Amino acid sequence: MTLRSRLTRLAHDNPELRADLLPLLKQARLRFRPQTITLNLKGGKRVKVDAEVVGSWAVHLDTPPPEPPNQPGWVVTFIPTSQRLVWERSKTDAKRALERVFKAVPEAREAKTVSELMEHSDAISRAL
């Protein structure tokens, strides 16, 4: 039985604990959904990429591919501005980096502007 399953059962069996346990269950797991997003690249070029999205963030293959192109990587991108937060060698590592950011700064998940993120830039840097 997973930790998540045990927490769910505990919340079910102990209604008085639900108020404390349910936020942990919601926060514990990010639900990425597949989506095609449009990135604004340098020079005004717009590119559509397949990504996995959570809140205002996307995890996707690097576009354009890095030099040399034999090492494709995964990028965490802030969708409203197409700004990249971090580059990782695997999708799993990119998702983990984003999870660390959300753990350090929960408000970052639904941020809509860079200024909202800049208020927490030190915490985000430490999380990465």
Q: Is 0.75 surpassed by the pTM of this model? A: no
Please state, in angstroms and rounded to a whole number, the distance separating the CA atoms of residues 120 and 128: 13
**pLDDT of 38:** 92
Are residues 68 and 23 part of one domain?
A: no
Strand partners, 51: 35, 60
Please state, in angstroms and rounded to a whole number, the distance separating the CA atoms of residues 57 and 23: 21
Q: What percent of the chain clears pLDDT 90, i.e. is strictly above it?
A: 15
Query: Does the pLDDT value for residue 86 go beyond 90?
Result: no
Lowest-confidence region among 34-48, 62-76, 95-109, 112-126: 62-76
Range of the domain at 94: 31-127
Mean pLDDT, residues 57-74: 74
Lowest-confidence region among 50-54, 56-60, 71-75, 86-90: 71-75
Are residues 111 and 61 part of one domain?
A: yes
Average pLDDT, the chain: 83
In what helix (H) or strand (E) does residue 11 lie, and over which residues does it extend? helix 3-13
Adjacency order of strands within the sheet including 74-78: 33-40, 46-54, 57-61, 74-78, 83-88
Structural domain total, the chain: 2
Tell me whether residue 48 is exposed, middle or buried, using C-beta atoms within 10 angstroms of its C-beta: 0 to 12, 13 to 18, 19 or more.
Answer: exposed
Are residues 35 and 17 part of one domain?
A: no
